[in-house]
Protein backbone atom coordinates (compact mmCIF):
# COMPACT_ATOMS: atom_id res chain seq x y z
CA UNK A 1 0.00 0.00 0.00
CA UNK A 2 2.80 2.42 0.86
CA UNK A 3 4.52 1.68 -2.47
CA UNK A 4 1.37 2.75 -4.29
CA UNK A 5 0.10 5.60 -2.08
CA UNK A 6 3.33 6.67 -0.32
CA UNK A 7 1.63 7.60 2.97
CA UNK A 8 -1.58 7.50 4.99
CA UNK A 9 -2.42 10.89 3.51
CA UNK A 10 -1.91 9.49 0.00
CA UNK A 11 -4.26 6.61 0.74
CA UNK A 12 -6.83 9.00 2.20
CA UNK A 13 -6.54 11.26 -0.85
CA UNK A 14 -7.15 8.29 -3.18
CA UNK A 15 -10.19 7.13 -1.17
CA UNK A 16 -11.79 10.56 -1.10
CA UNK A 17 -11.09 11.30 -4.78
CA UNK A 18 -12.52 7.91 -5.75
CA UNK A 19 -15.69 8.53 -3.76
CA UNK A 20 -16.23 12.06 -5.03
CA UNK A 21 -15.07 11.81 -8.63
CA UNK A 22 -16.21 8.23 -9.31
CA UNK A 23 -18.68 6.90 -11.89
CA UNK A 24 -21.71 9.07 -10.92
CA UNK A 25 -19.62 12.23 -11.23
CA UNK A 26 -18.05 11.05 -14.49
CA UNK A 27 -21.50 10.30 -15.95
CA UNK A 28 -22.82 13.76 -14.97
CA UNK A 29 -19.68 15.44 -16.28
CA UNK A 30 -19.97 13.51 -19.58
CA UNK A 31 -23.39 15.07 -20.13
CA UNK A 32 -21.68 18.46 -20.35
CA UNK A 33 -19.51 17.29 -23.25
CA UNK A 34 -20.51 18.79 -26.55
CA UNK A 35 -22.88 21.37 -25.07
CA UNK A 36 -21.98 24.84 -26.27
CA UNK A 37 -24.91 26.79 -24.80
CA UNK A 38 -23.54 28.42 -21.64
CA UNK A 39 -26.99 28.74 -20.07
CA UNK A 40 -27.58 25.01 -20.44
CA UNK A 41 -24.12 24.32 -18.97
CA UNK A 42 -24.89 26.50 -15.95
CA UNK A 43 -28.21 24.71 -15.45
CA UNK A 44 -26.55 21.26 -15.73
CA UNK A 45 -23.98 22.23 -13.09
CA UNK A 46 -26.64 21.23 -10.55
CA UNK A 47 -26.50 17.66 -11.85
CA UNK A 48 -22.73 17.56 -11.40
CA UNK A 49 -22.96 18.93 -7.84
CA UNK A 50 -25.64 16.37 -6.97
CA UNK A 51 -23.50 13.53 -8.36
CA UNK A 52 -20.54 14.58 -6.23
CA UNK A 53 -22.47 14.81 -2.98
CA UNK A 54 -24.63 11.73 -3.49
CA UNK A 55 -21.48 9.71 -4.11
CA UNK A 56 -20.03 10.52 -0.74
CA UNK A 57 -20.66 7.80 1.78
CA UNK A 58 -21.69 8.54 5.35
CA UNK A 59 -18.23 7.51 6.52
CA UNK A 60 -16.57 9.87 4.09
CA UNK A 61 -18.80 12.68 5.31
CA UNK A 62 -17.73 12.01 8.89
CA UNK A 63 -14.10 11.93 7.85
CA UNK A 64 -14.48 15.27 6.08
CA UNK A 65 -16.16 16.70 9.16
CA UNK A 66 -13.08 15.75 11.12
CA UNK A 67 -10.91 17.87 8.82
CA UNK A 68 -11.19 20.76 11.27
CA UNK A 69 -9.18 18.68 13.73
CA UNK A 70 -6.53 17.35 11.35
CA UNK A 71 -4.16 19.56 9.37
CA UNK A 72 -3.69 16.83 6.73
CA UNK A 73 -7.44 16.39 6.25
CA UNK A 74 -7.98 20.15 6.16
CA UNK A 75 -5.27 20.51 3.50
CA UNK A 76 -6.91 17.77 1.42
CA UNK A 77 -10.32 19.45 1.82
CA UNK A 78 -8.83 22.72 0.53
CA UNK A 79 -7.25 20.92 -2.45
CA UNK A 80 -10.59 19.34 -3.38
CA UNK A 81 -12.40 22.67 -3.10
CA UNK A 82 -9.82 24.23 -5.43
CA UNK A 83 -10.36 21.40 -7.91
CA UNK A 84 -14.13 21.98 -7.77
CA UNK A 85 -13.66 25.74 -8.23
CA UNK A 86 -11.26 25.24 -11.15
CA UNK A 87 -13.58 22.74 -12.86
CA UNK A 88 -16.30 25.39 -13.02
CA UNK A 89 -14.11 27.99 -14.72
CA UNK A 90 -14.77 27.03 -18.35
CA UNK A 91 -18.54 27.30 -17.89
CA UNK A 92 -18.18 30.80 -16.50
CA UNK A 93 -15.78 31.89 -19.25
CA UNK A 94 -18.26 30.69 -21.86
CA UNK A 95 -21.16 32.46 -20.13
CA UNK A 96 -19.29 35.77 -20.09
CA UNK A 97 -17.84 35.38 -23.59
CA UNK A 98 -21.34 34.82 -24.98
CA UNK A 99 -22.54 37.94 -23.13
CA UNK A 100 -25.32 35.98 -21.45
CA UNK A 101 -24.27 36.78 -17.89
CA UNK A 102 -26.56 38.75 -15.61
CA UNK A 103 -26.07 42.50 -16.19
CA UNK A 104 -24.01 44.14 -13.47
CA UNK A 105 -22.44 40.85 -12.33
CA UNK A 106 -18.68 40.74 -12.72
CA UNK A 107 -16.80 37.57 -13.63
CA UNK A 108 -15.02 37.12 -10.29
CA UNK A 109 -18.24 37.48 -8.29
CA UNK A 110 -20.07 35.11 -10.64
CA UNK A 111 -17.40 32.43 -10.17
CA UNK A 112 -17.59 32.76 -6.40
CA UNK A 113 -21.39 32.57 -6.46
CA UNK A 114 -21.33 29.43 -8.60
CA UNK A 115 -18.78 27.86 -6.26
CA UNK A 116 -20.78 28.85 -3.15
CA UNK A 117 -24.16 27.64 -4.40
CA UNK A 118 -22.68 24.28 -5.42
CA UNK A 119 -21.02 23.75 -2.04
CA UNK A 120 -21.33 20.66 0.09
CA UNK A 121 -22.74 22.74 2.95
CA UNK A 122 -25.79 23.82 0.97
CA UNK A 123 -26.40 20.23 -0.18
CA UNK A 124 -26.06 19.01 3.41
CA UNK A 125 -28.39 21.66 4.82
CA UNK A 126 -31.12 21.08 2.23
CA UNK A 127 -30.94 17.32 1.70
CA UNK A 128 -29.64 15.90 4.98
CA UNK A 129 -30.96 18.43 7.45
CA UNK A 130 -34.12 19.76 5.77
CA UNK A 131 -35.36 16.55 4.20
CA UNK A 132 -35.25 17.62 0.57
CA UNK A 133 -34.88 14.87 -1.99
CA UNK A 134 -31.84 14.97 -4.27
CA UNK A 135 -34.26 15.73 -7.13
CA UNK A 136 -35.61 18.78 -5.26
CA UNK A 137 -32.07 19.96 -4.55
CA UNK A 138 -31.01 19.58 -8.18
CA UNK A 139 -34.09 21.40 -9.49
CA UNK A 140 -33.69 24.24 -6.98
CA UNK A 141 -29.97 24.57 -7.65
CA UNK A 142 -30.41 24.61 -11.41
CA UNK A 143 -33.09 27.33 -11.17
CA UNK A 144 -31.06 29.32 -8.65
CA UNK A 145 -27.88 29.25 -10.73
CA UNK A 146 -29.66 30.38 -13.87
CA UNK A 147 -31.58 33.11 -12.01
CA UNK A 148 -28.44 34.36 -10.23
CA UNK A 149 -25.89 34.18 -13.05
CA UNK A 150 -27.73 34.45 -16.36
CA UNK A 151 -29.31 37.45 -18.09
CA UNK A 152 -33.07 36.85 -17.91
CA UNK A 153 -33.32 37.35 -21.68
CA UNK A 154 -30.89 34.46 -22.23
CA UNK A 155 -32.61 31.83 -20.05
CA UNK A 156 -33.43 28.52 -21.74
Rounded Cα distance between 9 and 138, Å, is 32
12 band by pLDDT with thresholds 50, 70 and 90 = confident
Rounded Cα distance between 147 and 11, Å, is 40
pLDDT one-digit tens code per residue, 70-119:
777 778 778 888 988 998 999 999 999 999 999 999 999 999 999 999 99
Rounded Cα distance between 12 and 72, Å, is 10
Segment among 22-26, 56-60, 128-132, 143-147 with least mean pLDDT: 56-60
pTM for this model (two decimals): 0.78
Inter-residue contact 147 to 39 (CB < 8 Å): no
69 band by pLDDT with thresholds 50, 70 and 90 = low
Please check the confidence at residue 61 and state whether its pLDDT lies above 70: no
pLDDT one-digit tens code per residue, 16-55:
777 777 787 788 888 888 899 999 999 999 998 888 888 7
pLDDT of residue 120: 87
pLDDT of residue 17: 73
Write out the DSSP string of 17-55. HHHHSSHHHHHHHHTTTT---HHHHHHHHHHHHHHHHHH
Inter-residue contact 5 to 11 (CB < 8 Å): yes
Amino acid sequence: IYALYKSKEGLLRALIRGAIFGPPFQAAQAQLTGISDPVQLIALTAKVARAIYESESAELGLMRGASAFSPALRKLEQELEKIRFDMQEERMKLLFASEKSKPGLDYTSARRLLWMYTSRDIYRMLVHESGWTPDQYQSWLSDTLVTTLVDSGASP
